[in-house]
A = this chain, B = another copy of it.
Amino acid sequence: MITVAEQVAVIGAAGYGGAVAAAILRRHPSLELVAVTARSEAGRRHDDLYPRYRVPLVLDEFDADDIAARAQSAIVAYPHGAAAPAVKALRERGLKVVDLSADFRLDRARYERWYQTHAAPELLGDAVYGLTEAHRDEIRTADLVAAPGCYPTAALLALWPLREQIEDVVVDAKSGVSGAGRDATQTTHFVSVTENVQAYKVEGHRHAAELEQELNGATFTFVPHLVPVEQGLLASCYVTAYIGEGELRDLYRDAYEGEPFIDLVDEPPGTDEVRETNRCRIRVTVVGGRVIALAAIDNLWKGAAGQAVQDLNLMLGLPETEGLE
């Protein structure tokens, strides 16, 4: 039983994912957000950067000792590469950590193939992949959880109950622009995005490594697309699998029964149905012998910060849904 609020910090709260994490924690009934840090915006108030999130804290420079003195757990929302040293410093000081970056999602070989030399490989063995619906029990006892990428979250939730039967799958995913982060680039310029739909990284997106690791053995094609949406991600999955409509529905119903954030729905889910929620709406059907599995999430919530808080709730023995409804 939790009797007092646990203190939490968000490391990297100026970016979109970290900002949402701070917003969720601010209203969390059992957790107290005590510190937010930022690399480039330190010194500014968080509620000046993000007025509607109403987090009444000043963004600090990151100092592991200071954070350790004030908090017992942290959500780290740095980019990959920058995250590992911060996570390491916090873990060394005993904090439980959920990391939003890719740094602890993959085994070392996969990580170093897609990203770079790992800065804290000794921690990889402890890290649990934070897709709650797939790894709940491990998360409960973990001290370090790697929250999945937004694309893998949607695709894996769309496919998880079917993972043993998949022979081959095409994942055509559409993401809103917040998924590309707060950095101002030609890609995220309003003029580039509006009235545009475009695939990118067709030859290989880093998130595919997560799919490959979790969907062990299935062959798949993953193509991300950018759409003129702020928050929202739809994964349309086309699966070669020998299963009938009824069996398919039973499989998903059984797998997701009691899942607090999964909605199995009868119509194709729209991303606006889950905006600013931690929910994933999934619809599966068989058409012409092929399974079509559609999953919609908010890329910043279930695809990042919401899922991180879901993980953290489990790690701290709190009800999984606290602060998320």
Which A residues are closer than 8 A to B by beta carbons? 16, 51-52, 54, 170, 172, 174, 176-178, 182, 184-186, 188-200, 202-204, 219, 221, 223, 225, 227-232, 234, 236, 238, 263, 265, 268-277, 279, 281, 283, 285, 287-288, 290, 292, 294, 296, 325
Q: A192-B272, A196-B229 are in contact. List 18 more A-B contacts (CB 8 A).
A: A51-B265, A52-B273, A54-B277, A172-B172, A172-B236, A177-B191, A188-B189, A188-B191, A189-B189, A190-B192, A190-B230, A197-B296, A202-B268, A225-B236, A227-B229, A228-B228, A228-B229, A238-B238
Q: How far is the CA of A273 from the CA of B230 in the complex (A)?
A: 14
21 contacts between A and B (CB under 8 A): A52-B275, A170-B172, A177-B189, A178-B191, A182-B186, A182-B191, A188-B190, A190-B190, A191-B230, A194-B272, A195-B230, A195-B231, A195-B272, A196-B271, A197-B270, A202-B285, A202-B287, A202-B294, A204-B287, A221-B290, A223-B238
Task: Tell me the bound Cα distance from A294 to B197 in angstroms.
Answer: 11
Q: A172-B238, A189-B189 are in contact. Are A52 and B225 (CB under 8 A)?
A: no
The reply to whether A186 and B184 form a contact with Cβ atoms under 8 Å apart is yes
State A204–B286 Cα separation when bound (angstroms): 11
- CB closest residue in chain B, given A233: B197
- Bound CA span A176–B228, Å: 11
- CB nearest neighbor in B for A240: B168
Is A203 within 8 A of B281, CB to CB?
A: no
7 nearest CB pairs, A to B: A198-B270, A51-B273, A172-B172, A196-B272, A199-B268, A184-B184, A190-B193
Looking across the interface, which residue of chain B has its beta carbon closest to that of A199?
A: B268
Bound-complex Cα distance A173 to B32 (A): 39
Chain B residue, CB-CB nearest to A196: B272
- Contact partners of A197 in chain B: CB under 8 A: 174, 227, 229, 232, 234, 270-271, 296
Q: Are B270 and A196 in contact (CB under 8 A)?
A: yes
Please report the C-alpha to C-alpha distance between residue A225 and residue B172 in the assembled complex, in whole angstroms: 11
Q: Note all chain B residues with C-beta closer than 8 A to A276.
A: 52, 276
User: CA–CA, A276 to B276, complex, Å?
Assistant: 10
Taking a contact as CB atoms under 8 Å apart, the answer to whether B230 and A194 are in contact is yes
Residues of B within 8 A of A223 (CB): 236, 238, 292
Contact of B272 with A52 in the complex, beta carbons under 8 Å: yes
Cβ–Cβ < 8 Å partners of A272 in chain B: 52, 192, 194-196, 198
CA distance A182 to B276 in the complex (A): 21
Among B16, B191, B263, contact of A191 (Cβ-Cβ < 8 Å): B16
Provide the residues of chain B in CB contact with A265, threshold 8 Å. Answer: 51
Cβ of A228: which chain B residues have Cβ within 8 Å of it? Answer: 190, 194, 227-229
